[in-house]
């Protein structure tokens, strides 16, 4: 947005200085990505930018590591990707259900001790993951769910629920409850009111929370290190193992795909946030 012509010089200087500082911070945060992307297309087996890549020689670039990611020997990445998507999808469904119900309860004016309940619900975001991992591991071991998909899904539901609670609660903060009271006065039962009135209005917040819960589950390493067995390896664990045992550009190819996936999720979440604001009349 351009500054008005009547802006005083010192305000104009501060504005452009502020933009420069923000640009530097932004570049600092994303600079490592500029290394990962070209290296994932390296034709060599070494994690270096070769002279041919610097000269933009076509022979120095290759899709061999992306092919290895999909068709590699014994294809460990295929199993890891299957496990990651399976766990993330079911963890997202569970987190959305629990988080939405909790947010609806917290939005009620009759709910007592809202502060304590909210702090408890978002505590998995605050407590260090190593502590949560130890606690979850001992609980799952006692329940016989260690080294199972079920145990990992339950653990990821615990981690993803706070994101759904926060996004849905933020959406409900501007919710007009007069429409639900009007529906009740016309004879609508609570389930019908929720499905046809409340849910469509808070759907952007629910989807945003689901996206964050999905990414949290898909990228989780610490909890899976405690709970996963040989058949429960996920993509982050496979990457961790590859970095320790056999450093290969295939890891960079997988990292590039994950970065693109995370970028798409963030763009979708931002579009949903803007749509939610338009629905609530904040922005026109």
What's 209's domain CATH number?
1.10.3720.10
- Show the domain range for 222: 77-280
What is the spatial distance between Cα 165 and Cα 138, in angstroms, rounded to a whole number?
26
Structural domains in the chain (count): 1
CA 281 vs CA 79, 101, 193, 275, 278: distances in Å: 46, 25, 21, 10, 5
What is the spatial distance between Cα 133 and Cα 237, in angstroms, rounded to a whole number?
15
Say which residue, 206 or 1, is predicted with more confidence: 206
In a domain, 185, yes or no: yes
In a domain, 92, yes or no: yes
What is the spatial distance between Cα 67 and Cα 72, in angstroms, rounded to a whole number?
7
pLDDT in tens, 216-236: 898 888 888 888 877 788 888
Number of residues written out for the chain = 284
Give me the percent of the chain exceeding a pLDDT of 90.
13
In a domain, 129, yes or no: yes
In a domain, 86, yes or no: yes
Q: Are 202 and 256 in contact (CB under 8 A)?
A: no
Supply the pLDDT for residue 75.
67
In a domain, 181, yes or no: yes
In a domain, 227, yes or no: yes
Supply the pLDDT for residue 200.
83
Give the burial class of 52: count Cβ atoms within 10 A of its Cβ; 0-12 exposed, 13-18 middle, 19 or more buried. Answer: middle
Cα–Cα nearest to 276, from 161, 160, 195, 168: 168
Residue 61's DSSP bridge partners are 42
In a domain, 44, yes or no: no
Report field, pTM of the whole predicted structure over 0.95: no
What is the spatial distance between Cα 15 and Cα 19, in angstroms, rounded to a whole number?
6
Average pLDDT of the chain is 83
Cα–Cα nearest to 206, from 150, 269, 149, 143: 269
Cα–Cα nearest to 45, from 69, 62, 70: 62
Supply the pLDDT for residue 284.
47
In a domain, 137, yes or no: yes
Give me the percent of the chain exceeding a pLDDT of 70.
94
pLDDT in tens, 149-205: 899 999 999 999 999 999 888 888 777 778 888 888 888 888 888 888 888 888 888
Tell me what the mean pLDDT of segment 40-52 comes to.
Answer: 80
């Amino acid at each position: 947005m351009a500054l008005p012509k009547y802006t005083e010089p010192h305000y104009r200087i501060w504005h452009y200085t502020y933009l420069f500082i923000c640009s530097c911070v932004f570049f600092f945060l994303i600079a490592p990505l500029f290394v990962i992307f070209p290296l994932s297309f390296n034709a060599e087996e070494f994690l270096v930018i070769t002279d041919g890549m610097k000269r933009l020689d076509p022979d120095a670039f290759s899709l061999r590591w992306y092919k290895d990611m999909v068709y590699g020997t014994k294809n460990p990445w295929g199993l890891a990707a299957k496990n990651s998507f399976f766990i993330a999808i079911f963890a997202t469904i569970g987190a959305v259900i629990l988080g939405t119900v909790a947010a609806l309860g917290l939005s009620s004016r009759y709910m007592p001790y809202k502060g304590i309940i909210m702090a408890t619900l978002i505590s998995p975001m605050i407590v260090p993951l190593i502590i949560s991992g130890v606690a979850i591991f001992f609980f799952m071991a006692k329940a016989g769910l260690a080294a199972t998909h079920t145990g990992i899904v339950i653990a990821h539901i615990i981690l993803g629920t706070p994101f759904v609670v926060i996004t849905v609660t933020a959406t409900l903060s501007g919710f007009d409850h007069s429409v639900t009271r009007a529906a009740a006065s016309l004879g609508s039962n609570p389930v019908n009111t929720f499905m046809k009135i409340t849910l469509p209005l808070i759907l952007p917040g629910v989807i945003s929370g689901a996206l964050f819960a999905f990414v949290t589950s898909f990228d989780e390493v610490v909890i899976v290190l405690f709970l996963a067995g040989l058949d429960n390896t996920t993509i982050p664990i496979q990457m961790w193992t590859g970095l320790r045992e056999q450093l290969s550009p295939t890891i960079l190819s997988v990292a590039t795909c994950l970065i693109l996936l995370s970028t798409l999720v963030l763009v979708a979440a931002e579009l949903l946030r803007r749509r939610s604001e338009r629905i609530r009349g904040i922005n026109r």
